Amino acid sequence: MRIGILGGAFNPPHTGHLVCAQEAFVQLELDKVVFVPVGEAPHRELQGDPGAEERLEMVDDASAVT
């Protein structure tokens, strides 16, 4: 099974994230793409961060539509 992993802050997840995942899925002939939100972004402060658990829930909701 070929699995792609897409990591990011996903604060919030948006159409660009879904398009990126879809393109990887198609072009790399993947069986699945897994979204992995970071617990704490190492490169920037997340303004208005609802917390890691809430961002994970948002990612689950967003990826369910694909």
- Higher pLDDT: 2 or 66? It is 2
Q: What pLDDT is recorded for position 3?
A: 97
**What does the pLDDT look like over 16-54, one tens digit per residue?**
999 999 999 999 999 999 999 887 767 777 777 787 788
Task: Answer with the residue of higher pLDDT: 12 or 26.
Answer: 26
For 59, counting Cβ atoms within 10 Å of its Cβ (0-12 exposed, 13-18 middle, 19+ buried), the class is buried
Pairwise CA distance, residues 60 & 4, whole Å: 16
| Contacts for 47-51: CB closer than 8 Å, 24+ residues apart | 48/11, 49/11, 50/11
- Domain boundaries in the chain? 1-32
Q: Rounded to the nearest 10 degrees, how much is the dihedral formed by the CA atoms of 6, 43, 51, 61? A: -20
